[in-house]
């Protein structure tokens, strides 16, 4: 998948745990884990906004696009 989720990187930089972030963003730890591991198929803008606010970052710090070669 060409969209890479770097949430784990931002969490490490901010030294924040999954449980702490889930409480601050008001999302279940299970759903946050799905997002963190890159298994999510979508993310709401409101969730992305809350993550950026808590982590003091930009959406591009969390989501990255990598082009895949055409097969």
**Where do the domains of the chain lie?**
3-56
Model-level pTM? 0.88
Q: What is the pLDDT of residues 3-46, one digit of tens each?
A: 999 999 999 999 999 999 999 999 999 999 999 999 999 999 99
Query: E strands of 1-71, at which residues?
Result: 3-5, 63-65
Q: Report CA-CA distances (Å) from 53 to 17, 39, 46, 60, 68.
A: 16, 22, 10, 13, 30
Q: Give the whole-angstrom CA distance, residue 16 versus residue 71.
A: 39
Architecture category of domain 3-56 in CATH: Orthogonal Bundle (1.10)
Angle CA 63–64–67, to nearest 5 = 145
Nearest 10 degrees: CA dihedral of 52, 34, 11, 53?
10
């Amino acid at each position: 998948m060409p969209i890479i989720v770097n949430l784990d990187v931002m969490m490490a930089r901010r030294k924040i745990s999954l449980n702490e972030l889930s409480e601050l963003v008001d999302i279940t730890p299970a759903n946050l884990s799905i997002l963190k591991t890159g298994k999510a198929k979508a993310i709401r803008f409101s969730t992305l906004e809350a993550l950026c606010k808590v982590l003091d970052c930009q959406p591009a710090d969390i989501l990255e696009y990598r082009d895949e070669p055409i097969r």
